[in-house]
Amino acid sequence: MDDAKGLAIAFEEAKISYDEGGIPIGAALIAADGTVLGRGHNMRMQLGNPILHGETSALQNAGRLPATSYKGATMYTTLSPCDMCTGACLLYDISRVVIGENKTFLGGDGYLKQRGVEVVVLDDEACRSLMEKFIEEKPDAWNEDIGVEERVYSKEGIKRPSS
């Protein structure tokens, strides 16, 4: 599956979450052969579940899979993955992570690369616009999602790049 198609699935999920009143982050786990293993979106607001982010939702919806299913798989996500979702990608040895955008928030991109994961940032305007709209509308919900009291770009103190 090409990256535009994989990200389109993740973005559909992000829009679903936004329409449900949730945080607009979507993800899709795609096998090396192009099969969609799982797709999902952030459900923290909808279900009151603090660990059901986009990527973990996609993994949950994929269900129990043998370790070989993740070999060569790509996680498509609309936003740079947080520490928890970065860890989930590493735990399951996901080979590639394709990120819609990392301008509104920079998560574990560098750590994924350091651990040998191929990371592709598409700098997608639709992903960024939806996330910026949500952060403007519900800043407290966004801060809660990433575990901070005040808006940050990166938990490592990295400054937000100019757009």
What CA–CA distance (Å, rounded) separates 136 from 52?
Answer: 22
How far, in whole angstroms, is CA 124 from its chain's centroid? Answer: 13
What CA–CA distance (Å, rounded) separates 151 from 146?
Answer: 9
Based on the residue annotation, tell me whether 55 is a catalytic residue of this protein: yes
In 10 A of CB 134, how many CB atoms? 21
Among candidate residues 13, 20, 55, 125, the one labeled active-site is: 55
Residue reference for tokens 């979106």:
41
Catalytic positions, written as ranges: 55
